[in-house]
Structure 1
Amino acid sequence: MASSVRAGERLRRALGPGAELEAAGLPRELRARLETALRKRKAAEGEGDGEDPRPLVPFRLLRELHEHLREQGSPLFLHELLEGSEIYLPEVVRPPRNPELVARLERIKVQLANEEYNRITRNICQAPRRSGTLADFGRQVRSVKAVVISIFNFIITVAAAFTCTFLGSQYIFSEMAARVLAAVIVASVVGLAELYIMVRAMEGELGEL
């Protein structure tokens, strides 16, 4: 969490001899603390670690400075003094992870992965045990038997439709050709309907094999 700012050149100049903050009549204690915070810049420059050498000024000092300027009715505003300054955001240092916790999480991940693998391969492993059994053979035989019965029923149905139409049409048509044509038409319609039903039934039977 941010608690200070990196002071810019504008704020450092304002604390110099005869500068704006000196004319504002800062309390001696407040001025001393501000100068102490700004003098830390020299120490930061000597570290040579590549960090920003600008000094850090705590927010509480800036609040006190702002309150003093407002009480004195100074024409100098705090945002003017902070020109060129930046809020300092310290780097968050994450604590090292507990090795025991890391090892436990890894074991849980491995266990979950094994359970997921077993769940996915359960049907694959059981499929070879079910294939080739007597139950499968009996089911296939029943399916073939059902197909044969369907074909036999189709032939019987078409033949019965043809025969009934041929015998019944003698009361309507006197000519043999007309009776045969009528019987063929009726047998064809019945055969197509029966064929459609038989094909749908065969698809269902073959889908179970």
Structure 2
Amino acid sequence: MAVHSNFDEYSYDMLSVSRDILTHCDTALSRNTLDPSKQRKLESMRSQLNQSDQEKRVTLKYSDIKFLHSCLQESCDENKESSPHLYELMEMTSLQLPSPPSLDKSDAYVARMERLRLLAEEAEYQKMTKNISSASEPNEGIGKELKVMDSQVTFLFNFILTVVGAFVFGYKGVEYSLPTPNVSLQLTVGVTLATIVFFADVYFIIKKYV
């Protein structure tokens, strides 16, 4: 099978999970249909399996499983019986991979890991303090806006007061300066002074805020 042929390129060991492999070895040996070289090799493999099985650890290469499969096919063909498929034999094993080599931690590696740990802690601290400062910013912004609003209200009050004061000054000034009241003249002078003060205030507003 093409799926399993790639195993031949590697020295993978298999860990047996049952005694069925031994049973198949016994089956192939008991029929006496193999040539002497295969017979000896299969007997050697069975002896290895039996010893390993007693130690609760079986190690076989994929090529050994394929050899057992070919022996079973040959003996079954001679007796016109069906032999187990290769995948059925593979299901009785599990792949045993070697443990990765342990890496010695050099002084440079330890120093670098310590530096990275400190950098991570510093980044976490900056993140925490950023959240705290961000939480206090809205209160500071509200206080600043209140100060600006108070300044604007005061300026508007002064603006209205000066315009109204100029009108009253012109209106009453003319009234007190004439022997008889002249409402039209009083209004004219009051409005004129109020207009002059109004545009003067507007000029200073533009000069200050624009």
Smaller-chain TM-score bracket:
0.3 to 0.5
Report the TM-score, using the length of structure 2 for normalisation: 0.45
Greater RCO structure (CA 8 Å; 6+ sep): 1
- In our comparison, the structure showing a higher alpha carbon Rg is 2
